Amino acid sequence: TCGGVGQVRMQQGFFTVQQACPTCKGEGKIIKDPCGNCGGQGRVQNTKTLSVKIPAGVDTGDRIRLAGEGEAGMHGAPSGDLYVQVAVREHDIFQRDGDNLFCEVPISFVDASLGGELDVPTLNGKVKLKVPAETQSGKIFRLRGKGVAPVRGGVPGDLLCKVVIETPVKLSGEQKELLRKFQESLESGGNRHNPRKSSWFEGVKRFFDTK
């Protein structure tokens, strides 16, 4: 039909349009006795499992290129590439923000008041975190270099640990009585032991006085 060119010219009114030959599908030749498995394409569909090396620091949306593992080329042409798109699952402890990691660390109000050391998990094992005395809930401590290493190299990010003071539960009668006595001792000291609470109540009082 096309004389081996792969293209034919079609007349449409005053215009001549060149398009792929309908007989050879643009190949310029046809196979009279095609293979029964591939239909003359020179390739068959197959499925295989590949092992993909994941570099450190990859994040959701990153793509890993596997050269030559894509679709086979037509008539013996080279195969294409396979791109694996990464989707990182949520972690039970860490939240990621770029190369930095964030986690919450529960501590008792005794450790927050008197200070102490805590075991904090990192990607490379546990480290000691020194908590100074009179630490308030919500305080963030930065552990430099304990975050995620950039995928293209460079300085790792940081681990940000937010201290959350845990209220004790399932107290015995004796423990509750000790807490009441402790509260009374705090109240006897005036505003000295609870400066944030006192300033908050003062702000609320001023707010309503201006209404």
- Mind listing the pLDDT tens digit for each residue in 16-53? 888 888 888 787 888 788 787 777 777 788 888 999 99
Single-letter code of the amino acid located at 116: G
* Tokens read off for 4: 């081996």
Instruction: Kindly report, residue by residue over 87-121, the tens digit of the pLDDT.
Output: 999 999 999 999 999 999 999 989 999 998 989 99
- Topology of domain 95-209, per CATH? HSP40/DNAj peptide-binding domain (2.60.260)
The arithmetic mean of pLDDT across residues 168-197, rounded, is: 82
The arithmetic mean of pLDDT across residues 173-181, rounded, is: 92
What's the confidence (pLDDT) of residue 207? 64
Does the pLDDT at position 199 exceed 70? Answer: no
Q: Which residues contact 158 (CB under 8 A, 6 or more apart)?
A: 100, 101, 142, 143, 144, 145, 146, 147
74 or 154, greater pLDDT: 154
- In the chain, domain spans: 1-29, 59-89, 95-209
What's the confidence (pLDDT) of residue 38? 75
Does the pLDDT at position 205 exceed 90? Answer: no
What's the confidence (pLDDT) of residue 196? 67
The phi and psi torsions of 166 (rounded to 5 degrees) equal: -95, 130
How many residues does the structure list for the chain? Answer: 211
What's the confidence (pLDDT) of residue 15? 82
CA distance 195 to 199: 6
Single-letter code of the amino acid located at 167: T
Percentage of residues in the chain with pLDDT exceeding 70? 88
Q: Number of helices and strands (H, E) in the chain?
A: 3, 10
